[in-house]
Amino acid sequence: MVQHAVGLLLAVVELLEAEAERLQLNVRHLLVSGAVAVLAAIVAGGALLTGSIFLTWAFYAALRPPLGEAGAALVVGLTVWIVVGGATWLVFRKLRRKRTPA
């Protein structure tokens, strides 16, 4: 009886050890995947920001000769507000639709 209980206890301990090793590998894989995703998001965000800055600057440079500095700045500023406001509105609209129960 005692040998059976000890054998059962050893089997449970070995199972826990194997599961702990699997959990450690899965956690390590999750951390590496998460780090790669964060790094990719930082690179993509930087590229998007840089591209947006250059696009805005080019738009301003194209409008400066006919409108002057103040007019070009006004048009570019309003355009940026409209684009960012429209994107924000679309995101909130999309989030609002997802929350409503079907």
| pTM listed for this prediction | 0.57
Domain that holds residue 28: 1-102
Q: pLDDT of the chain along its 102 residues, tens only? A: 888 888 888 888 888 888 999 999 999 999 999 999 999 999 999 999 999 999 999 999 999 999 999 999 999 999 999 999 999 999 999 888 766 565
Picking from 62, 85, 86, the residue whose alpha carbon sits closest to that of residue 73 is: 62
Residue 81 to residues 25, 54, 90: CA-CA distances in angstroms? 47, 17, 14
In DSSP notation, 17-43 reads: HHHHHHHHHHHHHHHHHHHHHHHHHHH
Number of structural domains the chain divides into:
1
